[in-house]
Structure 1
């Protein structure tokens, strides 16, 4: 803890290329500079609010933050929090937004690794649940309520079906395998409210850390499920997105926090795609699909902000398949991909352009520092710069 400034200042350097997403303990003010990702220090790369990169032929995708019911359903909260943060925006800054869920939703092609901070709801059913409860007995109540994890990540896990899904947040090592032929009962897993973050064991971490948010009523808790459209809900149409195109098992791994005798580290071998230009390179490469998605979504938000604010996020939580905006934007993503295919492979090498922008010896009022990496990314790929 509290040693990152040494990496930022160049006193220390990560010994291997390190890729990460944000959770609920990062410096939100700094990560705000790198909405689309970038180097936070030499050899340490942040994927952004949402992002995807290639390394050695392995595609890594992820999104930052944790799920919070109130922030997500209040679609006006998708407006960017302004610095300096107050007690409310300091927390909502790291809550996942509908915009980034939309972007993750459209990453529906074969991926090697997906990163999320909080777990997908229900993942304990695919691993050693009894062993998990022996280590963390206070998880039992959250599991019974369907609150151990994120409903957004649950949907994305079963829809995207990446080869690997890695998470943190719960401070315990846990492995699971979601088989391709797994049939899940979407009605059995209730919505994760991620509100008071309390546990029965005061020596353990709280699950959400968002302890200023009151618990929502039981009427909501018993109402919100992920369900397929039925006669009582929105009917299926030709625009209703169905499951993604991937058909393989997903290995899930969560690790403990760093500490003596804690299982915080694991090596896993993953075969890379030898046909991707990154395979024989030591450089990180941008994912073309994530670039296309960022461009399409950010342009849509610029030109149709009022329409997006009007989207019923509660309905999407009830049934993510009702998010038909995905299908409206998919053809535009395909068009952008065709344009990106005309560029040279070297155009997608992520430049090692880290610069110290903000002073490391803080003295004064928090403010936003425009980052050269964000400016260069937006200019190169014609993506709207963050509205700050």
Structure 2
């Protein structure tokens, strides 16, 4: 992970996160010389040679402790034991010269979380500290919000909603970086909606397995618009059993570490991988229209989500192709009351222009930025932003 990518992740961390580094003066000076000024508030350095006993730590306990250790010196290894006795639950990173497998095994048996080599390399140490700090404070700190859109009317409309929502988010915050992940591995069409050609896909990232890193992801994403990257669906349909759920969740976590927003475009049919991704989202937006068939399908989806303990607050409704006729059989209010979920947006019926724009790879909101359709997505983006700021 490069320093700029680490800095992006660090800016999302709560200010309470901190790390204490216990090392020799020379090692501390070398480490601090590599820091951008913004990282200075993250680290507290305590000068102490590797053979000395563990010194007193700051009054406010850090989230992570980094200790210089020389495994050939019994007193130095004892620093780890002292730290474990004082702080049983505190993640510890051992910093060791001439790192080898035997030293790593010895230290791991003492209960440390990770090992880094000396002299310190900030590009290696900083992401490790941030990852352990995130685990220590609850697992989701520092991760960008992730929202998904699912449909209940034969797959019509969800991809359109995702693409236009991403555009609305970036339009309201030009500095935001948004990533769309097309999880419709059979018929995903995000690339065509944006009029771009994708050289790689979600599946290419999953096939990297344990080798997956940001270099692979960065080469797989396609620039769809300014501020919008796309991780497209594959060109060929993969067998469903080849989609590894844990790898997919790991990929999504990495994306959330590098972008400000992650949007998922779900397939029409649920799979174990898609359901697991839904459970990992901050919110699932269920697209439904004012028809009995769509409402019935939405009710089945909500029952499925209830069965895996997705809280009702995390599921919102988007009423699609909404009409306000004098003698409307089913109103938008009826939809919300029937399904027992909050209506977060109402999208107007578009009688012309949308299919033609999609064929050309253009968003309707780009062609008609002041129209009712674009305004509806602007309101939805504002609603999501408020929810992200105050998740309670």
- Give the TM-score range, shorter chain: under 0.3
Q: Which has the higher helix share?
A: 2
Q: Which has the higher strand share?
A: 2
- TM-score, with structure 1 as normaliser: 0.22
